[in-house]
Structure 1
């Protein structure tokens, strides 16, 4: 199989997967608002057949404008996101939190707070940053001092 055919097959899979995700997303919004397809059609001012087209296996005419209208008709605000932009946003948030902690005059790390050192072993920290976990393990192994 040449590269062009492989790219076309992959692109088709991505498109089909995204259409299914959009259909599922709209259905979840309708379920959350106890609405059916006829209700959505009325709220959007389109025919029931148009809504049926969007939920069909052969959904070839779903536009961004139609999706935005549907989400709005379901009482929500449309947004766009991707795995890459989500990771970038989370990295910016972590960086900003670190800057705020570093700039704060009233924040003292636990390993520098004498009253907290005795409680350090009993503190259970749940954090998505593996570096914090490694630092905490290192501190415990060193007896609470850095």
Structure 2
């Protein structure tokens, strides 16, 4: 099979698919701090598992607690980074819409079609509801931190 791949008529990576794809690539570039936290979680996940006679994985509670205590700082860091990115994205979105409104008025252009505006508002309403629910979750986490 290797000779067929070597002499294949089409390259596996075409222009625009490799590193030069830039912002069009899948995934989100993490800051080094978040990448380290993600790697920490990836390599510590599953530590402390014990196999029972039925082949099921059962964790020793002390090992499980030790694992959680090692992983929790990285998890807090990941959530912090995600929230900061979301806040920055929301602020950028607001400034972009402010600029678009200003330019539309300055140029005397018509507003976007109502369907488009309604669609965007519905999406943002769902996001806002999720954000408000996550605030409640974070408050519960804060209360649990005091008990760990």
TM-score, normalised to structure 1's length? 0.29
Which structure's CA Rg is the greater one?
1
Question: Greater strand percent: which structure?
Answer: 2
